[in-house]
Amino acid sequence: MSVFVDGHNSWLNEHVESCVRSHVPRVIFVDDVAKIPAQAPATFQFCSGYGLNPHFGVLNASRTSLMNAYPNSDALSRKDCLGKVVEYWAAKRPGSTPRKHVPATAQLSLDYSEYVEEALTAADDLTLLSSLGQGGHR
């Protein structure tokens, strides 16, 4: 498998490479997407989501391919907020499913308080929406 790893957060790249190495014994890492062989049997691309034209060329040419290409910085902030939402939810509802099934999340930053408040509001709104939907059938 040919693998290209160049995410938005460079510190994350080595962790992604380590994970790939642990699951794919015969992996070939390339530092430039253009170095992936034409019609490679299998490719994996972990990229920042910006300037994707060469990445789609490789994706379309290989037999089997997977590409993670959304802005990973946004994904990390969403994960950070979701972790906080689950933490708050589980604190309020100790017997709930998230308490039992979602692993603890190490908070990556403390700069997202406004997102956490919005996420908490959205979580409570979904609960309200669900109960309103159930009550509407009566």
- Cα distances from 18 to residues 12, 110, 135, in angstroms, run 10, 27, 50
Q: How many domains does the chain have?
A: 2
pLDDT of residue 33: 86
Domain span at residue 10? 2-70
45 and 92 within one domain: no
pLDDT of residue 9: 72
pLDDT of residue 120: 57
Query: pTM score, two decimals?
Result: 0.50
Q: What averages of pLDDT result for each successive group of 10 residues across the chain (138 residues)?
A: 85 89 93 87 84 79 81 62 78 79 63 57 60 61
pLDDT of residue 60: 81
Could you give the residue ranges of the DSSP H alpha helices within the chain? 10-23, 53-61, 72-92, 97-101, 113-135
Given 70, 94, 115, which residue is the final one in a domain? 70
Given 70, 88, 120, which residue is the final one in a domain? 70
Q: Using CA atoms, how far apart are residues 129 and 63, in angstroms rounded to an integer?
A: 44
